């Protein structure tokens, strides 16, 4: 009985993990498609930016991915 519950828990965890990974990949694909085919998406503006880190007195003020 205990093994059955552990198998069920493992299966549920696997399904949840797989579903969330697929959703993220789908969203990334949608963003890339809109970026590559920008003329089809003229009703909004896409901004691509990169935030670099900054330093003051040899100490990092803002990390690059903060």
Over residues 30-61, the pLDDT tens digits come to 888 888 888 887 777 777 776 667 777 887 77
Query: Do residues 62 and 54 make contact, with C-beta atoms less than 8 angstroms apart?
Result: yes
Task: Kindly report the three-state secondary structure assignment for every residue of the chain.
Answer: CHHHHHHHHHHHHHHHHHHHHHHHHHHHHHHHHHHHCHHHCCCCCCCCCCCCCEEECCEEEECCCC
Q: How many domains does the chain have?
A: 1
CA distance 53 to 62: 5
Confidence of residue 63 (pLDDT cuts 50, 70, 90): low
The pLDDT of residue 51: 67
The pLDDT of residue 20: 55
The pLDDT of residue 61: 72
Q: What is the average pLDDT across 5-25?
A: 71
Domain enclosing residue 31, as ranges: 2-62
Q: Is 61 exposed, middle or buried (0-12, 13-18, 19+ CB in 10 A)?
A: exposed
Q: What is the average pLDDT across 15-22?
A: 62
């Amino acid at each position: 009985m205990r093994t059955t519950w552990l198998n069920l828990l493992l299966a549920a965890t696997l399904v949840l993990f797989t579903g969330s990974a697929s959703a993220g990949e789908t969203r990334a694909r949608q963003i890339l498609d809109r970026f590559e085919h920008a003329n089809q998406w003229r009703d909004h503006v896409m901004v691509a930016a990169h935030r670099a880190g900054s330093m003051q007195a040899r100490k990092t003020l803002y990390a690059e991915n903060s």
